[in-house]
Structure 1
Amino acid sequence: MQTVFITGVSEGIGAALALHYAAQGARVLGVSRRPRPATLDGSLTPEDYACIDLGEPDAPTAVQTFLQRRQVHTLDILVHNAAAGWYGSPTQQSSASIDQLLQLNLYAPIALTHMLLPRLRAAHGVIAFISSVHSALPTPDFALYTATKAGVDGFARALRIEERGKVDVLVVWPGPTRTSMHAKSGVPPERIHNKHYASPEAVAAAVAVAIQRRRSCAVGAGNTLLRWAALRLEAPLQTMMIAWARRRSLRKAGGE
């Protein structure tokens, strides 16, 4: 039986992944800052769920205690899914909010990876970082979020080389997904286009395939092309295209 540990498991992509792996017969453990929702009843037991806010500095220690209490000595799959965004100019974001976003999106996955590597090596496991297609793009109004995802990408690339032959490391780059993240980030309702976004289940299915193949991937043909172009276009052209797209979006939303 595989043992799978997922962060940000209470909703969205994390909850869909928990359901997928539970259906495969895996033991699923997870953490989220919210109390365990009833929607996870078929995915993981109350004992295998911990209410831990990974945006707090002592979170890695709390996760270590939780896994020791649950007698988890090896891990087959670790999915770093927990993340948050913040919409607007960085000049409008408080220092406390900046610190918490860096803690949750960047420090927590690095610290948890450091702590859990022995368990993953014991099973020749897989680490999957859920990043964003925007990590390779200049993304106005999401500057700090983009920076944290770019940092995760850099850490994962180096770790993949360091752990070769011991643990497989991969990154999955989704585009906008139909979750509550945009609203929680403060995105104006008129700029949230859920009907055009991928469902959490579709993204989770792509993540599961990437883990099975032990290979990084972008989710969907459009995002694959977007990431390919972002990594190859010259920076001035890339910035010009993003600026044009932003102006167009604002005009449609009745902005500037």
Structure 2
Amino acid sequence: MDINGKCIVLTGTASGIGKSLLEHLLQYNVKVIAVDKEEQPWLFSHPKVIPYQCDISKKKNIDMLFEFAVNKLGVVDIFIGNAGFGYYEKIVIEDWERIEKIFHTNVFASIYAAEKMYALNKDRRYMIAFTASTMVEFPIPGYALYAATKCALDGFIRTYRYEMGNKGKILMIYPISTKTQFFQTAGNTRPLEWPLQTPDKVAKAIIKGIQREKACIYPSKIYSLGKIISAVIPLVPKLYMKREIMKLEKWHKSSLHPYN
């Protein structure tokens, strides 16, 4: 899909992948509603951007966002759901509210936005893109709830594609660990993963994926190579997983763990 001339809603734009993606989108002839729960004063004067502050984990806020977008833009050609967060933890206590919070933001908001785009566009061409994670295919110890949300979203989208029956396209983005504020949200003291990529690299891959209408976008060539190596040498992922389990156990036993 040609990005030029499109009206876009992008969530999670205050930092990380979302901010970098917004900067790349502004190189095109577009109008973007930049959504984040944090205020974004640096965008107020940009002629191509309309900042919008809201918490997408609530149904009423998504309804208000779409109403705002239609009033300001007339249509929404592309919806990019990038907002989300994760926990790094060893689950040792029951916590319903913690589960509910992450699923509302990472899963419910995205599925509901996809339904809103369907209802809004009917037989128009439109596109939806959601940020998932390579943890859908290769879960990492410490991220059980985060991986669960991304697997749930991935399962919905892979099935929903066949059910839509209109002119919509849905893209899924599978980044590896990225140098963003995600790690501060997941836990300031948590050990970093390897390999790491930059938000800029992910943003460029997303733009290219949108233009080529790729159903699945994998920004990391290292990850793609790793899948091949893992298939040929099954011991490699087992050793990597053992290393990550040791890191989690060490972190969990430290006084820095939030449940301690």
TM normalised by structure 1 equals 0.84
- CA spacing shift, 1:16–1:198, aligned 2, 3 Å: same
Matches within 5 A, 1:54-93: 54-73=56-75, 75-92=76-93
Q: Is the 8 A contact 1:139 1:242 kept in 2?
A: no
- CA spacing shift, 1:180–1:117, aligned 2, 3 Å: same
Matches within 5 A, 1:1-256: 1-38=5-42, 41-42=45-46, 44-45=48-49, 48-73=50-75, 75-92=76-93, 94-163=95-164, 166-188=167-189, 191-192=191-192, 197-215=196-214, 216-226=216-226, 240-247=238-245, 249=247
Structure 2 portions without partners, runs of 5+ = 255-260
Q: Is the 8 A contact 1:22 1:42 kept in 2?
A: no
In the TM superposition, residue 227 of structure 1 has moved relative to its aligned partner by: 5.2
- CA spacing shift, 1:29–1:122, aligned 2, 3 Å: farther
CA distance in structure 1 between the aligned counterparts of 2:200 and 2:128, rounded to whole angstroms: 20
SS at match of 2:179: coil
Measured against aligned partners, the alpha-carbon deviations of 1:168-198 in whole angstroms (never above 9, x if no partner) come to 1121100011111111111525x1369x521
- The AA in structure 1 aligned to 2:9 is F
CA distance in structure 1 between the aligned counterparts of 2:251 and 2:90, rounded to whole angstroms: 18
Provide the identity percentage. Answer: 23
SS at match of 2:57: coil
- CA spacing shift, 1:240–1:91, aligned 2, 3 Å: same
Measured against aligned partners, the alpha-carbon deviations of 1:35-92 in whole angstroms (never above 9, x if no partner) come to 12416754743xx22111012343222222322332432x222111000101112334
In the TM superposition, residue 229 of structure 1 has moved relative to its aligned partner by: 7.1
SS at match of 2:55: coil
TM normalised by structure 2 equals 0.82
In the TM superposition, residue 247 of structure 1 has moved relative to its aligned partner by: 4.1
SS at match of 1:225: helix
Structure 1 portions without partners, runs of 5+ = none
- The AA in structure 2 aligned to 1:221 is K
CA distance in structure 2 between the aligned counterparts of 1:225 and 1:43, rounded to whole angstroms: 41
- CA spacing shift, 1:151–1:32, aligned 2, 3 Å: same
CA distance in structure 1 between the aligned counterparts of 2:178 and 2:47, rounded to whole angstroms: 21
